[in-house]
Amino acid sequence: MTSKLMLQIAMGVLGVIPIVTALPEIYRGLPASFIAAGDENAGRDSDYRYWAAIWVAMGAGLYLLLPRIESETLMSRTIMGGIIFGGLSRLFGAVQRKYPLKGRLRGALFIELVIIPALVVWQSLVASGK
C-alpha cells in the first residue's frame, strides 16, 4: 500500500467525522435547554446551524481533495489549517472557561491539534514524492 493511498484512506475516514456529526446539528439546531424565545436566542441557534454547515463543508472539502491529494497542497493546507485553527479556538475557550478536558472535548482536540497537523506533514511528504 502506497503512502498516498494510506493518506487518502486516513483523510477519508477523518472526513466522515464532520459530516456525520454536523448534519444532525443543522437539522436539530441548539438543544432546547440552550434556547428560549427571543431574537438573541434565535441568533444563537442560527449561528450554531451556520457553523455546523461550515463543519460539513470542511469534511466535504477533504473528500474533494482525495483523488488529487498529491497535487492539492494549498487547498489541503487551507482546509486542515481551518480545522487546526478551530481546535486552537476550542482549546482557548476550554482554558478560558475552565472546562475539564475530557470525553468528547479531549477527543476533538486530539484530532484537531495532533492528527490533523500530522496529516499536513504527511500530505507534504506525499506531494514531494517522499
- 15-29, 31-45, 105-119 — which is least confidently predicted? 31-45
Q: Which has more confidence, 101 or 42?
A: 101
Q: What pLDDT sits at residue 39?
A: 58
CA 117 to chain centre: 12
Q: What pLDDT sits at residue 37?
A: 62
Do residues 43 and 36 touch, judged by C-beta distance below 8 A? no
Spatial neighbors of 123 by CB under 8 A, at least 6 apart, are: 7, 69, 73, 76, 77, 80
End-to-end alpha carbon distance in the chain: 14
CA distance 103 to 101: 7
Q: What pLDDT sits at residue 130?
A: 73
Q: What pLDDT sits at residue 43?
A: 79
Look up residue 67 and give its three cell numbers: 483523488
CA 42 to chain centre: 24
Q: What pLDDT sits at residue 108?
A: 93
Is the pLDDT reported for residue 122 higher than 70? yes
* Model pTM above 0.85: yes
Q: What pLDDT sits at residue 42?
A: 74
Neighbours of 55 (CB within 10 A): 21
pLDDT band at residue 81, thresholds of 50, 70 and 90?
very high
Cα separations in angstroms, 2 against 24, 44, 73: 35, 45, 18
Is the pLDDT reported for residue 38 higher than 70? no
CA distance 87 to 60: 18
Give the domain extent around 72: 3-127
Average pLDDT score over residue span 20-34: 87
Q: What pLDDT sits at residue 31?
A: 79
How many structural domains compose the chain?
1
